[in-house]
Amino acid sequence: MPDSPIVPALWISLFEREDQPGLPLRERVCAALRGAIRRGELAQGARLPSTRMLAADLAISRVTAEAAYAQLEAEGYVTRRVGHGTVVSIASPGWQPAPPMTGIDTSATLSRRGAAIVATGGCQDPLVPRAFCAGSPDLRAFPVETWRQITARQLRRHGAALMGYGDPQGYAPLRDAIAGYLAQSRGVRCDRDQVVVLTSSQQALQLLAMLLLDPGDTVHIEEPGYVGARNAFGSAGAQLEPIPVDAEGMSLPSQAARLTYLTPSHQYPTGATLSLARRLALLEQAQRDGGWIIEDDYDSEFRYDARPLPAMQGLDRHGRVIYLGTFSKVLFPSLRLAYAVLPPALVEAVVKARTVMDGHSAQLAQAVTAEFIAHGHFARHLRQMRLLYGSRRALLLERLEAARLDWLRPQPGAGGLQLAAHLPPGREAALTRQAGARGIATPSLSALFMGADKQDGWLLGFAALQNEDIIDAVARLAS
């Protein structure tokens, strides 16, 4: 016979002690209970309060209480039977949590390639945007209802077909939509047979590194530059050569490397635009020396003062440029859709390699994105976001100027979701600590330099912040 329910006082204190406020409410309740069961504080057979009592004691809704118990039942921690209530179903005396990871012994367990990947430190984007996390679009402004309607329509029309394995190159209507959009708005010359749909630009970089680079091959990357690219090429064993960036974008190296990675439309992170003269010279070099160029056009849609220069790919007459774009910034990051436009000679190899990696991208997401573009919602959303982000960027610059922070020098590029700002040499670490103590995230600029000649500074993300967040965050920086 099960025990009588645990008393509210015990239950409430348990919840308060174990509470993890960052989690959704249902998960907070589950986490508190799981912990108590694992530690043996709630023994096998202990009866939990009814959902009505639980809801009243914790001032939560009955629906949340019900959902929490259902989750614990699905995980096997409790059983629920009519007339018996909810009862702890496992005994775990002496259960101990796994010891915290103290680092990975790469020499003992990983391949050389694996060790190189771990040594890069990986890439992690912020899970919850707050001032001034960089690189996040404003997801509150996304037309969720339109997305929901298109999703329902696609499922109604093509449900079963979208649930099977898909074309590793990408869903054909999406490839059509991407090729049309790029030709029209970015001057990219391609047809749908050159487009490969992938889960992210990062996957594209990793795939291209695997396919095009042998250990020791030279790769030119911008200095400062994108860490995701550095990590992908570095973990393939490439020899990375940082090439300085100035107001005209990446400088011209004396000869082409096996591969050159750059962000010509809106250099990451300085915001510079690669001049036409340098574009032509780099293409000429790549043709002469047999190098590949990866053009990462990650955020050129967000240009606030003028139209961006057309993509470098449109100037390429010899099939040396691989063009990358992502939907992470223009739609939403969790969509996990990006694309590569490949010279025809590389298409088959990339598609084959893709089958070895993850097969294909989710078909339903591709079908919904294709309709979203084809029916004009994409163009509308971009127009609105350009206005919204442009006004936030202007507000940030205006507030920074009004605050007269003589130690912080913003370097506004022509667009983007964040801007670089310079700090006096040697001050980045201390100022970052002080900003952190005031609840402000200030991603590091110096971390984006590979060489010894680093510049101290921050990246200040503005696109995902409401006006009041920007005003408040600048005031806190000023204090």
Residues that bind ligand PLP (CB under 6 A): 135, 200-202, 226, 228, 263, 268, 296, 298, 326, 328, 333, 338
Q: Which of 75, 86, 92, 74 has the alpha carbon at shortest distance from 38? A: 92
Nearer to ligand PLP (CB atom), residue 69 or residue 298: 298
Q: How far is the CB of 25 from ligand PLP (least distance, A)?
A: 29
Q: How far is the CB of 56 from ligand PLP (least distance, A)?
A: 44
Q: How far is the CB of 251 from ligand PLP (least distance, A)?
A: 18
Nearer to ligand PLP (CB atom), residue 58 or residue 117: 117
Strand partners, 321: 293
Nearer to ligand PLP (CB atom), residue 228 or residue 413: 228
Q: How far is the CB of 323 from ligand PLP (least distance, A)?
A: 12
Q: How far is the CB of 231 from ligand PLP (least distance, A)?
A: 11
Q: How far is the CB of 338 from ligand PLP (least distance, A)?
A: 4
Nearer to ligand PLP (CB atom), residue 136 or residue 154: 136
Q: How far is the CB of 464 from ligand PLP (least distance, A)?
A: 12
Nearer to ligand PLP (CB atom), residue 34 or residue 329: 329
Nearer to ligand PLP (CB atom), residue 135 or residue 224: 135
Nearer to ligand PLP (CB atom), residue 77 or residue 268: 268
Nearer to ligand PLP (CB atom), residue 51 or residue 326: 326
Q: How far is the CB of 403 from ligand PLP (least distance, A)?
A: 27
Nearer to ligand PLP (CB atom), residue 338 or residue 368: 338
Q: How far is the CB of 227 from ligand PLP (least distance, A)?
A: 9
